Amino acid sequence: MRDTLVLNASFEPLSTVTLNRAVVLVLQDKAVVEQEHPGLRMRAAAVDMPVPRVIRLCRYVRVPFRRHAPWSRRGVLVRDQHRCAYCGNRATTVDHVVPRAQGGGDEWMNTVASCAADNHRKADRTPEQAGMPLLHLPFVPTPADAMLLAMKAADRPNLPGPSAEPPSGQAA
């Protein structure tokens, strides 16, 4: 079965997701079916619905990164769901795994969300040098990751926006 196209609430195409994911979004009332596969129905337990070819999100989500997924501090925080890679608490800063002082760059694979205390404690050291192992490894988000993470972030409106980020240059 082909993947399902996801449109933003504004009808702008966002990405594709697996059929399973599309069905879950519809059943959770997070998306509506815009276009179905003619003649096909899904039947399981209590579910009887058309097989979605295109779904549209009920609420507009602002996706901070797209197909080319340019690196951004905000993108890293959203990707890591504002969870510190070192202690699991709320993260407001972005840490360079290999510090910039040691040649580490602004890249998806070299940056993780971090709480300010751990960012300060780790300073210009690698996780090994600092004895601070990563709880989760960085990854390059796919467009589907980006969309699903943005939807999760939108479900938690109590999180501060990018204005709560410290001025750049503070993160190691």
Residue 149 φ/ψ, nearest 5 degrees: -65, -40
Q: Residue count at the site for Zn ion (CB under 5 A)?
A: 5
Q: Which of 84, 132, 149, 171 binds Zn ion (CB under 5 A)?
A: 84
Q: Which residues pair with 111 in a beta bridge?
A: 96
19: helix, coil or strand?
helix
Q: How far is the CB of 53 from Zn ion (least distance, A)?
A: 43
Q: How far is the CB of 91 from Zn ion (least distance, A)?
A: 7
Residue closer to Zn ion by CB (options 56, 82) is 82
Q: Which of 5, 61, 63, 118 binds Zn ion (CB under 5 A)?
A: 118
Q: Which residues pair with 17 in a beta bridge?
A: 4
What is d(CA 55, CA 22) in angstroms, rounded to the nearest whole number?
7
Provide DSSP, 34-82: EEEEEEEEEEETTEEEEEEEEEEESS----S--TT----HHHHHHHTTT
Q: Is 82 in the site for Zn ion (CB under 5 A)?
A: no
Q: Which of 86, 96, 132, 153 binds Zn ion (CB under 5 A)?
A: 86
Residue closer to Zn ion by CB (options 52, 99) is 99
Q: How far is the CB of 84 from Zn ion (least distance, A)?
A: 3
Q: How far is the CB of 117 from Zn ion (least distance, A)?
A: 6
> What strands lie across the sheet with 47-57, from one edge to the other?
13-17, 4-7, 47-57, 31-44
Q: How far is the CB of 134 from Zn ion (least distance, A)?
A: 11
Residues binding Zn ion (CB under 5 A)? 84, 86-87, 115, 118
